A and B are shown apart, each in its own frame.
Chain A
Amino acid sequence: MKTFTFYKHKLVIFTLTFVVASSNINAQETNSIFKRSKVDTTSAQLNMDATYNRPFLKLDKVPVAFGGYLEANSIYSSEDGVSDGLSFQARRLTLFMSATISKRIKFLSEIEFEDGGKEIAIEFAALDVILYPEFNFRGGIIMNPIGGFNQNHDGPKWEFVERPNMANQLLPATWSNAGFGIFGKTYKNNWIIGYEAYLTNGFDNNIINNEESKTFLPASKENGERFEESNSGHALFTGKIAFKNRKIGEIGFSYMNGVYNKYEEDGLVLDTKRKLSVYAVDFTTTIKKTNTYIVGEYAFISVDVPKTFTQQYGNKQQGFFVDIVQPVLKRKVLDWDNATLNLAVRFDYVDWNIGTFNETNTNIGDDLWAVTPAISFRPTSQTVFRLNYRYQWQRDILANAPANQASWLLGFSTYF
């Protein structure tokens, strides 16, 4: 991926500087010069708070905090009896830095290096102007609040090595853009209501013109120019409203809409305006009696694909994932006071092309199901070791018999 190739050099220097600084921080941590900020685990947090609600390292009285996380794993997988053998993956190294510029102005940035630096992206770099709890301003490079995972995607928070298919194969997690908007929260008794609304740059023609041979929103992530201009000349609207009951859980409704194609250039009309809309519902809850944690998300996508284009690029898509996490052991293990052992399972479903063929009126395939049982061990809340077994059934567009793929994944993810 060529995203931010221009900036790669500077980012590498920045990273080295950061790593050196971090190592100094770690060296001094024992001297209590630096302190790790605690993640707010109170019930006042929503998914929309995830970007700031991270374990930062902070020097006393210095208004800057650092943090990050690392994900790595081994994978052994096979599709229909053909295996590529055992591989090791350094999936991502993410660095974040926040600064309190003044009492009401904050800054946070998140830079992600994927696959050993093959992909480098500024996922978040935004200035927040805090006015009232109910009304605040954010601008810069923001993460569009579509669904829950896009904003709350840090690896150490999940019991699974792979990201949900719905989040990164249907929706383009992690999806961020240059733009501005407002956000806020209000509280009443057990209820918290939060909202976000942003106008940003958005998608481009690649969502229906890509080598996936399907309508594929993540294809727009390859367009680094979205941080400097809107491909269509129109803003992408993303809005979300979330409700949380402290005793029950959180549910969020989000919506994204905009023109995605370059229909006009130099005053010449090249095509008609083509829109896409995304509707998403996300939820999290914990069953108090069993301490079972459940998180899930559903998304429906509607894209205006030219009728004269190939049916491989569908105009309707949908998908969901559900994670069920059951802690089975929480006790002191070795030197870790609150080590937790979890059993978990994830269900993934994506249909990239809802509908039937014009010629035969038979169902269009291009869908995927997967189930992933998992064992995770958390020596502390910041670190997770994960053993996943994933079994996937994926059908081609003709709905031929599915390709069966199974994978063993063993890895870790940790904040640092």
Chain B
Amino acid sequence: MKTKRFYYIIAALSFILVIISCDKTLPNAPEENLLLDGPLEGLTHEQQLQFLKGDIAFNDDVFTVEKGLGPLFNANSCATCHAGDGKGHPFIGFTRFGQTDATGNNFLNQGAPQLQNKAIPGYAPEQLPAGATFSNLLAPAVTGLGFLDAVSDADLIALSDPNDINNDGISGVPHWNTIPEYAKAQLRPNTITNGGKHITRFGKKGAAYNLLQQTSEAYNQDMGITSVFEIIDTYSGLEIDPEVGTEQVNDVVFYLKTLKAPLRRDETNPDVIEGEKLFTEMKCASCHTPTLQTGPSTIEALSNKTFHPYTDLLLHDMGTLLDDNYTEGFALTSEWKTPALWGLGLSQDSQGGTYFLMHDGRAKSIEEAILLHGGEALQSKNKYEQLLESKKKQVLKFLESL
């Protein structure tokens, strides 16, 4: 009887011990500022629910042949290009081709603007047409996009200096572009038009008006998935039934709008503080504007907020090294939209541990990226090159803290 009781006690104690020790034996969550994903603060329960649906659609929904993938495509899910909501990797890079100026793309009947370089079994992928100029591109990080979307057109115009009136050699311009009808149905508050054109701000050339356009085009061109917004099949050129539901597209757009902004790390480190001063002194901050303000938004958590993306969302001439002789909309081939630098230090965490920076990933370090700057950024690059090594390290440390 005593033996029995002994075993019962041992078993019960063991069980209790396991239950108590569970949490201590489970992996801890990484620090919040080391992660790009997660919702911004202040969402309502309903918004959290829609964020979750968008999260699943963006990160978990893999398209198969039966679900409409392709037949020509670049990726089979959103997360393929934006792992962990971060920047893309060269293995899943993509190519756009066929347009050299504002007169439009001359290769639209040959598959332009995007080269779908993969195909489902039985199909041949697209080949780059002879004579077409092109840019290789990597997907950007998608965090904080809701903030960028909510900046008013008036603020972007105020930041621009097309005629370089302040004579600093930097003349950012908004990308005045035509936009599709479905984007017109969701104009941002107080949007400004100019001869029927709107200020577009998403994409490497800043050619997409809003996240609905960016998302619908990504489904269509990256994955070969049609929606009510982009209904033309990229392979046949014909209108076909939508392959992704409108609700799912809307959920993904909401997810992208409500992803949190990347959080800083080491911001109180003296080298980081000194690096930011140098960053400003070298006029890097003239394009990589540290602070912006959102306007009114239907998402309260995005309304009238001050945030720090380090971009002005404007087009700048970046010089010959970065001029691929390819463009979109009305941008010049040498012009690129200033990419947001927030999250820069976390880029390699979604790129397999290696930096692949600039529009095509050619820069393998932050310093290489700086040295590729030209055009309006030439003076800043030159100033960086003239810094003492210790000062350069401070600049790099600051950039890594973003």
* B65 contact set on A, CB distance < 8 A: 205, 209
The answer, yes or no, to whether A334 is at the interface (CB within 8 Å) is: yes
Q: Is the CB of B83 within 8 A of A398?
A: yes
Q: Is the CB of A400 within 8 A of B352?
A: yes
Contact with B along A387-416 (1 / 0, CB 8 A): 101010000111111001110101000000
The answer, yes or no, to whether A79 is at the interface (CB within 8 Å) is: yes
Q: Which 3 A-B pairs have the closest CB atoms?
A: A81-B29, A78-B26, A404-B27
* B29 contact set on A, CB distance < 8 A: 80-82
Stretch at the interface among A134-142, A174-182, A305-313: A305-313
* B22 contact set on A, CB distance < 8 A: 76, 408
Contact with B along A250-286 (1 / 0, CB 8 A): 0000000000010000000011001000000000000
Q: Is the CB of A77 within 8 A of B76?
A: no
Which listed residue, B18, B30, B121, touches A306 by the CB 8 Å rule? B121
Bound CA–CA A312/B81 (angstroms):
12
Closest chain A residue, CB of each to CB of B118: A310
CB distance from A380 to the nearest CB of B (A): 16
Beyond known contacts A76-B22, A213-B76, A398-B352: 9 more, CB 8 A cutoff: A78-B27, A83-B26, A270-B122, A306-B119, A309-B118, A359-B93, A360-B89, A360-B90, A399-B353
CB distance from B71 to the nearest CB of A (A): 11
* A205 contact set on B, CB distance < 8 A: 65, 121
* B4 contact set on A, CB distance < 8 A: 334
* A81 contact set on B, CB distance < 8 A: 26-30
CB distance from A311 to the nearest CB of B (A): 6
The answer, yes or no, to whether A7 is at the interface (CB within 8 Å) is: no
Q: Is the CB of B121 within 8 A of A398?
A: no
CB distance from B379 to the nearest CB of A (A): 33
Q: Is the CB of B352 within 8 A of A261?
A: no
Between B4, B91, B125, the greatest number of chain A beta carbons within 10 A of the residue's beta carbon is seen for B91
The answer, yes or no, to whether B75 is at the interface (CB within 8 Å) is: yes
Closest chain B residue, CB of each to CB of A393: B27
Bound CA–CA A212/B118 (angstroms):
18
Q: Is the CB of A80 within 8 A of B30?
A: yes
* A310 contact set on B, CB distance < 8 A: 73, 75-76, 80, 118
* B89 contact set on A, CB distance < 8 A: 357, 360, 398
Contact with A along B62-99 (1 / 0, CB 8 A): 10111001000101110010011000011101000000
Q: Is the CB of A261 within 8 A of B27?
A: no
Within 8 A of A (CB), among B104-160: 118-125
The answer, yes or no, to whether A21 is at the interface (CB within 8 Å) is: no
The answer, yes or no, to whether B194 is at the interface (CB within 8 Å) is: no
Closest chain A residue, CB of each to CB of B74: A310
The answer, yes or no, to whether B354 is at the interface (CB within 8 Å) is: yes
Which residues of chain A have a CB within 8 Å of any CB of chain B?
76-83, 205-206, 208-213, 261, 270-271, 274, 306, 308-312, 333-334, 357-360, 362, 365, 387, 389, 391, 396-401, 404-406, 408, 410
Given the interface pairs A271-B122, A309-B118, the reply to whether A359 lies near B91 with Cβ below 8 Å is yes
Q: Is the CB of B119 within 8 A of A308?
A: yes
Which listed residue, B14, B62, B119, B123, touches A211 by the CB 8 Å rule? B62
The answer, yes or no, to whether B221 is at the interface (CB within 8 Å) is: no
Which listed residue, A306, A312, A400, A406, touches B80 by the CB 8 Å rule? A312
CB distance from A277 to the nearest CB of B (A): 18
Q: Is the CB of B76 within 8 A of A312?
A: yes
Given the interface pairs A311-B91, A359-B90, the reply to whether A400 lies near B27 with Cβ below 8 Å is no
Between A209, A212, A270, the greatest number of chain B beta carbons within 10 A of the residue's beta carbon is seen for A209
Bound CA–CA A212/B352 (angstroms):
20
Which listed residue, B76, B91, B120, B122, touches A357 by the CB 8 Å rule? B91
The answer, yes or no, to whether B334 is at the interface (CB within 8 Å) is: no
Closest chain B residue, CB of each to CB of A359: B90
The answer, yes or no, to whether B349 is at the interface (CB within 8 Å) is: yes
CB distance from A392 to the nearest CB of B (A): 10
Which listed residue, A334, A358, A391, A404, touches B91 by the CB 8 Å rule? A358
* B26 contact set on A, CB distance < 8 A: 77-78, 81, 83, 406
Bound CA–CA A117/B121 (angstroms):
34
* B123 contact set on A, CB distance < 8 A: 308
Bound CA–CA A261/B350 (angstroms):
34
Bound CA–CA A146/B61 (angstroms):
31
Q: Is the CB of B76 within 8 A of A410?
A: no
Closest chain A residue, CB of each to CB of B8: A334
* A82 contact set on B, CB distance < 8 A: 29
The answer, yes or no, to whether B191 is at the interface (CB within 8 Å) is: no
The answer, yes or no, to whether B351 is at the interface (CB within 8 Å) is: yes
Q: Is the CB of A308 within 8 A of B118?
A: yes
